[in-house]
Amino acid sequence: MTSIWEETFQKIPYLWGHAPADSAVQTAALFSSHGFRTVLVPGAGYGRNARPFVDRGMDVTGLELSETAVDLAGKQPFSMTMMQGDISELPSLTGTFDGIYSHALLHLLPPGTHEAFVRHCFQRLNPGGCMVHTTITPEAPMFGRGTKLADHYYEASPGVPLYFYTEERLRPLFSEAAQLDISMMLEPNKEHPEKAPFPYWHITAWKT
């Protein structure tokens, strides 16, 4: 994973543009309404989805695999803390957070690692905290394309295998949640608005 994402950000530094995802804007509003002050963003990329939280006065810590993306995040016109590392390093992070926001990361993780990732996210949440994840659905246009690696797991593009969750498969991952909401949302392509919106699961999980 390191090489493919490092190469990608070196070739196309601002791959998804600068506008944050709609889910990031919505999640920032949710966190703000509950008075959250600290937010962790695993898979932060170059920081575009951190801005809605920063704009609402929250302290944001991003964790990102690509060193190039971390450098790009440091050039953003807003302040956040970036850490370069794999999501496997979540257990070793110092401190806990009121909220966690992760966009389009879960489906990039190999099967067998999802459970640990979600569990470690719960461990990093403060009591009463909330985490929001988005992940692609089987309604996504690349579902079933490319090489089938396992059930619901396809390498649609070279070096980027994707896991397509159904709602039934998602719910057991978040069994620790005191309250869980899973809904489908359509994310517009802000770099190419002429393209159809992209279907994502929007998962909101609260900790007791």
Q: Radius of gyration of the chain from Cα atoms?
A: 16
pLDDT score recorded for residue 94: 82
DSSP single-letter state for residue 125: E
Nearest to 118 by CA among 48, 165, 58, 54: 165
Which architecture characterizes domain 2-206 according to CATH? Answer: 3-Layer(aba) Sandwich (3.40)
Residues 6+ apart with CB under 8 A from 208: 127, 128, 178
User: What type of residue sits at position 56?
Assistant: R
Nearest to 93 by CA among 122, 124, 129, 65: 124
CA 194 to chain CA centroid, nearest Å: 24
pLDDT score recorded for residue 79: 93
DSSP single-letter state for residue 110: P
pLDDT by residue (tens digit) across 149-162?
Answer: 999 999 988 889 99
Q: What is the pTM of this model?
A: 0.94
How much is the average pLDDT of 2-20? 87
DSSP single-letter state for residue 181: E
pLDDT by residue (tens digit) across 47-65?
Answer: 999 999 999 999 999 999 9
38-42: strand order across its sheet: 81-84, 59-64, 38-42, 97-103, 125-136, 198-206, 179-187
pLDDT by residue (tens digit) across 128-152?
Answer: 999 999 999 999 999 999 999 999 9
pLDDT score recorded for residue 15: 87
